[in-house]
Amino acid sequence: MTQSTGPQGGKILICILLFLAALQCGRASFLVNVSYIDLQRYAAGTERMPYQGRIGMEPIVRWAEGNPLLNRAAAALNASLQKTPQHASHPEVLGPEKLICLLLGCLAVLLMTFAATAYTARHLPQLWWLGGVLTLAILYASYAARAELNFWYPYDLPHFALFGLATLCILEGWWPAFFALFLIDTPVRETSVYLLLLCSAVAWQRGKRQLVAWNAAAFFLFWLPTRLWIVHRFAGNPGETGIRPIGILHAVFDPLHWPQLFSAGGYLLIPVWLARRHLARDQQWFIYAALPCMAVTLAFGMWYESRIFGEWTVAIAVLASTEIASALKNLFASDAAPAVAA
């Protein structure tokens, strides 16, 4: 009885610590960073594109504006925050719009953390906690702890969670759940289309050719009409869409930007690629399919805005966990071989 209670108690303690760390990471994303867009304009549909085109959070933010309970809670929290020395000069008021984003953001971080933990517990029971730990480390380094371009957006963390859960469904082969998450994520951010390429690559490698056709159908029947409608709906809004070559060059050649530039993906994008030999074949195909998606992101994103790879957080965390577990297994096997021979 004592032997079984001890490890179980340790697991509960780790889960509590992960829960608290996830709340802190989600909270820090909003209290340390500031919003780049006007939330009231976003709720009204008049914000700039492409930000306005990410409409998944729009009705929620609009609902929060008129909710009496959220208004009272936001006023109380904002008054409390402004009394603390570190927030006395903070330029951003915590209104009901920001409060609902903070609450959903914390929920999204919790979902990401424990989904990654569940994945590693299922596949790497001896390192069951590693997926959640790496998820928080990546998210904190690339999103919460930024020193420049420290902007948060209402749709970021919900998209990161939906996209991350969908990537786990791809790796697990849970196709109905994957398509459900893809449908929900499509109005949240246009990069949900990456999921169809990832799914197609993994399905093709596994010999499930019919799924590739389903992905093509999902693109033409749902994603493309949805994005075309959004572009038409907000055609009169100001826009900032486009490639920013000057900003990219500035990020690359100015050493001031390098720490944040390479914090994208929590510094793990390159190591995961270099250690891909430790992954299964379908997981390698997943990475190969991710590369062109990341190239598109780099073309349109500001390179020292390290949140641009945030949607890959869960996938990077579980793939890195798999590589670490495989490398440790090979290391211990090579250490044991001489002893056996002797």
**What is the domain count for the chain?**
1
Residue 87 has pLDDT above 60, yes or no: no
Q: If you average pLDDT over residues 307-322, what whole number do you get?
A: 95
Distance CA(331)–CA(257), nearest Å, equals 37
Residue 62 lies in a domain: no
- What DSSP element (H or E) covers 229? helix 224-233
**Per-residue pLDDT reduced to its tens digit, 94-120:** 889 999 999 999 999 999 999 999 999
Residue 93 lies in a domain: no
pLDDT band per the 50, 70, 90 thresholds, residue 2? very low
Residue 78 lies in a domain: no
DSSP string, 261-310: HTTGGGGTHHHHHHTGGGS-HHHHHHHHHHHHHHHHHHHHS-TT-GGGGG
* CA neighbor of 222 nearest in space, from 178, 170, 175, 183: 183
Distance CA(173)–CA(191), nearest Å, equals 21
Residue 322 has pLDDT above 50, yes or no: yes
Contact 320, 271 (CB under 8 A): yes
Q: If you average pLDDT over residues 19-47, what whole number do you get?
A: 92
**Per-residue pLDDT reduced to its tens digit, 218-272:** 999 999 999 999 999 999 999 888 777 888 888 888 898 889 888 988 999 999 9
Residue 263 lies in a domain: yes
Distance CA(39)–CA(55), nearest Å, equals 12
Residue 3 has pLDDT above 70, yes or no: no
pLDDT score at 159: 97
Q: If you average pLDDT over residues 330-342, what whole number do you get?
A: 62
Residue 152 lies in a domain: yes
Residue 131 lies in a domain: yes
Range of the domain at 187: 17-30+105-341
Mean of the per-residue pLDDT values of the chain: 90
**Per-residue pLDDT reduced to its tens digit, 155-211:** 999 999 999 999 999 999 999 999 999 999 999 999 999 999 999 999 999 999 999
Distance CA(89)–CA(215), nearest Å, equals 49
Residue 50 lies in a domain: no
Residue 323 has pLDDT above 90, yes or no: yes
Distance CA(37)–CA(42), nearest Å, equals 7
pLDDT band per the 50, 70, 90 thresholds, residue 54? very high
Share of the chain above pLDDT 70, in %: 93
> Whole-prediction pTM value?
0.92
Residue 321 has pLDDT above 50, yes or no: yes
Q: If you average pLDDT over residues 307-312, what whole number do you get?
A: 93
Distance CA(250)–CA(4), nearest Å, equals 57
Residue 46 lies in a domain: no
